[in-house]
Amino acid sequence: MVNSFLKEKYGISDKILELSKKADIKAAEAYKKAEEICEYNSLRVLKAFADHNVSEAHLGVSTGYGYDDVGRDTLERIYADMFGGEDALVRHNIVNGTMAIATCLYGVLRPGDTLVAATGKPYDTLEEVIGIRSGSSGSLKDFGINYRQVDMIDSKVDFDGLAEAIDDSVKAVIIQRSKGYDWRDTYSVDGIGEIIAFVKSINKNIICIVDNCYGEFAEEKEPCSVGADLIVGSLIKNPGGGLAMSGGYIVGTKEAVEKVSYRLTCPGIGRECGATLGNNRTMYQGFFMAPHVVCNAVKAGIFCSALFEELGYEVNPSSDAFRSDIITSVKLGSEEKLIAFCRGIQQGAPIDSFVVPMPWDMPGYENQVIMAAGAFVQGSSIEISADGPIKPPYTAYFQGGLTFETARLAIMLAAENVLSESNK
């Protein structure tokens, strides 16, 4: 029934239907592993809700200063428990992941301190925060904070380089879990634990900050459980479960989170203020749904890898590889195929399925970029999306998918488009 629907309504060819079936068979073991992680994490979230006696009252609205918002304060306790920290800040008015990370950096670093990036160049948007890109006003550099970067070697941290980079001025080390837009392996939580143990063996007072974007709920634990002082992410990615309408979180040690709270609001006020304005309900429900939604996104990634392997493309991670985030990259090899891929994903999105993505000159990027996104929440990348810079090797980065069933179709559409491009 499904196949004839896909054929009649979406024009999926027999060839792609057949390869998709093969891909599912090949991926069965990986799907099962993702579902096991999902079950465990779903039950943990449920238990955390029960342990904190979450009730209707927690879903309410506060205004003005937002003092004693029981919903906000309890959700922060739940995030801390779930992610293995002592304390947390979870706020709808953290505008994105970049702000959440920046708030941590400005919260713990002081003039004269040095920040070290252990996993190479951080995510693009942090360049202006750190002051790597010239002319950014108000950067850490502007405030007299130094920066050193240790590039990775073959997807692994260069431990010798890291040891060299750490002197007495180093106050914090930042570690990025997800590969982001690099062709490297995503760091596992245990792998992050090894980096942190190494840093702490040099100086136990160095604050280890993990950019946890895209990683939440992909494994059974988060980096606070392996010694991270602060972990950070966006609510329009994994932990918002596709329902949170904006926001970010910061989880960590009591001391570090307190410092960050004085930067998030202001000294003396810290976490005590922050009206939730009606956002509690979707933030709770989104967190409840998050393990399941992340599982759908992970399974979509596995299917994408498996299907494009069948079609003969290089993918990362491979369909049977361990996954610690929701991003899958496919090396398509030509501009036409990259565009075809993104257009297929767009056709399979619930919102704006009729839109035809085009390459464009995105501010801050050297090359043109193409993006497919059709989301209920603007820019939400736990929802289905794909993008890539128009430059060799023409890699598409695919992520998200609120439901596996619909994401699977979007990937078939992408494959169909790429196939007809290669038959030209």
Contact footprint for ligand PLP (CB under 6 A): 96-98, 123, 125, 176, 178, 180, 211, 213-214, 234
Contact 131, 148 (CB under 8 A): no
Contact 413, 325 (CB under 8 A): no
- The least CB distance from residue 380 to ligand PLP, in Å, is 10
Instruction: State which residue, 49 or 147, has the beta carbon closest to ligand PLP.
Output: 147
- The least CB distance from residue 198 to ligand PLP, in Å, is 21
Give the residue from 362, 379, 406 showing the smallest Cα distance to 10.
Answer: 406
CA 423 to chain centroid, in Å, comes to 35
Neighbours of 81 (CB within 10 A): 18
Written as one string, the DSSP assignment of 221-249 is S-GGGGT-SEEEEETTSGGGTTT--S-EE
- The least CB distance from residue 184 to ligand PLP, in Å, is 12
- The least CB distance from residue 232 to ligand PLP, in Å, is 8
**Nearest-angstrom CA–CA distance, 58 and 77:** 12
Instruction: State which residue, 112 or 138, has the beta carbon closest to ligand PLP.
Output: 138
- The least CB distance from residue 325 to ligand PLP, in Å, is 8
Instruction: State which residue, 42 or 136, has the beta carbon closest to ligand PLP.
Output: 136
Instruction: State which residue, 234 or 347, has the beta carbon closest to ligand PLP.
Output: 234
Instruction: State which residue, 31 or 187, has the beta carbon closest to ligand PLP.
Output: 187
Residue with tokens 């049977």: 320
Instruction: State which residue, 125 or 253, has the beta carbon closest to ligand PLP.
Output: 125
Which structure tokens are listed for 168? 């007495």
- The least CB distance from residue 209 to ligand PLP, in Å, is 12
Element (H, E) at 153: none
**Nearest-angstrom CA–CA distance, 42 and 301:** 20
- The least CB distance from residue 302 to ligand PLP, in Å, is 19
Instruction: State which residue, 98 or 417, has the beta carbon closest to ligand PLP.
Output: 98
Backbone angles phi, psi at 208, to 5 degrees: -95, 115
Give the residue from 203, 131, 209 showing the smallest Cα distance to 163.
Answer: 203
